[in-house]
Amino acid sequence: MYLEHFNLKALPFTITPDTEFFMNRAGYQDALNVLVVALRSGEGFIKVVGEVGVGKTLLCRKLLKSLGDQAVSAYIHNPYLKPESLLYAIADELEIEYEANATQYAMLKHITDRLMEHYRDGKTVVLCLDEVQAMPVETLETLRLLTNLETEKRKLIQVVLFGQPELDDLLEQPSVRQLRQRITFSYRLLPLNQVACKAYIRHRLVVAGMSRKDLFSGQAVDYLHQVSRGIPRLINILCHKALMVAWGEGDTLVRLRHARHAARDTIETQKIKQPLFGYWFPLLGRWLFGGLAVITLILLLRAGELKGLLP
């Protein structure tokens, strides 16, 4: 592998959501701050929406890791659950023992008892659910019933919903309007802009042990942002492949040609229609404009000389 070649200590661009690579900028820290403030305020439902690969799962794991000892967390990554299956999953996360084939009523009672235990111990319970846009409507209603569990002072459980933009469409359905009305905090994760993409690539390289100034040329970074559309997961895939290509050539810098090779090898970037001259189109335009300007100036000077020769 290329680690020794580039003097790195770890793979910088894996697609596994590793909180060690969480970047405290480019909207991610803002999102984390919103979530922490909302949870401290005791809100029942919080929603985070973003496109596929934009970093929702990493944000979720970073949130769970940052809650501290005064919070008990539960994480449900499988959205394809019926109401009773959701209750079983929550019970497992909260380490609740229950009878086989326990009824929904029995499960709600078990969960309520455990939530009250944590409340008496001064702890909050946070439930994070991923890919909620795929969750059945009846399961969402069970979630709403869970947030009915409260004391006179605060909710016994707080729920953070992570999902793709289709989650907003799901919540517009009349059957879940009561849940929608309880969502008091929302945040939308956006793709990285060009500046943030450059910072993102450098951040991951530094965390992985990069000791030099750069491993990617400026042209390579700009091109990678263009073809990835600023989606972090796709940036990771492309950067990993580009490093592999540069390593295979024995080059210590990832150049534009390496980035292009990585893009040609990636299905998602093949769907993007490239400009006629690709990355070089703006440069070509400047060259043509500059050349025309020089030619025009020469013609004007020549015309002036000819005019001076005329009687």
Q: Is the model's pLDDT at 111 over the cut of 60?
A: yes
Any idea which of 114-128, 153-167, 261-275, 291-305 has the lowest mean pLDDT? 291-305
Strand spans (E) along the chain: 45-50, 71-76, 124-129, 158-163, 183-189
Residue 271 has a pLDDT of: 59
Q: Is the model's pLDDT at 280 over the cut of 80?
A: no
Please, which pLDDT band fits residue 278 given cuts at 50, 70 and 90? very low
Q: Is the model's pLDDT at 298 over the cut of 60?
A: no
Residue 72 forms part of a structural domain: yes
Residue 133 has a pLDDT of: 96
The total domain count for the chain is 2
**159, 215: one domain:** no
Residue 87 forms part of a structural domain: yes
Length of the chain: 311
Tell me if 127 sits within 8 A of 76, measured CB to CB: yes
- The pairing of beta strand 124-129 with beta strand 71-76: parallel
The CA distance from 41 to 273, in Å, is: 46
Extract the tokens encoding 251: 């080059």
In the three-class reduction of DSSP (H, G, I as helix; E, B as strand; rest coil), residue 252 is classed as coil
Q: Is the model's pLDDT at 291 over the cut of 60?
A: no
CATH for 99: 3.40.50.300
- Mean pLDDT, to the nearest integer, of 270-282? 48
Residue 132 forms part of a structural domain: yes
Tell me if 87 sits within 8 A of 94, measured CB to CB: no
Residue 248 forms part of a structural domain: yes
Q: How far is CA 90 from the centre of its chain?
A: 25
Q: What percentage of the chain carries pLDDT values higher than 90? A: 68
Extract the tokens encoding 95: 């380490």
**160, 33: one domain:** yes
Q: What is the pLDDT of residues 217-247, one digit of tens each?
A: 999 999 999 999 999 999 999 999 999 999 9
* Model-wide pTM > 0.85: no
CATH for 227: 1.10.8
**35, 54: one domain:** yes
Burial of 212 (0-12, 13-18, 19+ CB in 10 A): exposed
**180, 67: one domain:** yes
Q: SS3 sequence, 212-243?
A: CCCCECHHHHHHHHHHHCCCHHHHHHHHHHHH
Please, which pLDDT band fits residue 44 given cuts at 50, 70 and 90? confident
Q: What is the pLDDT of residues 114-168, one digit of tens each?
A: 999 999 999 999 999 999 999 999 999 999 888 888 887 788 999 999 999 999 9
**231, 178: one domain:** no
Any idea which of 49-58, 168-177, 197-206, 294-303 has the lowest mean pLDDT? 294-303
Residue 303 has a pLDDT of: 53
Q: Tell me the one-letter amino acid at 135.
A: M
Residue 285 has a pLDDT of: 45
**203, 260: one domain:** yes
**171, 119: one domain:** yes
**94, 238: one domain:** no
**35, 184: one domain:** yes
Residue 283 phi, psi (nearest 5) = -65, -40
State the sign of the Cα–Cα–Cα–Cα dihedral 24, 30, 35, 41: positive
Residue 206 forms part of a structural domain: yes
267: domain range?
A: 194-274
- Mean pLDDT, to the nearest integer, of 37-58? 91
Chain mean pLDDT for the chain: 86
Residue 147 has a pLDDT of: 84
Tell me if 213 sits within 8 A of 193, measured CB to CB: no
The CA distance from 101 to 218, in Å, is: 59
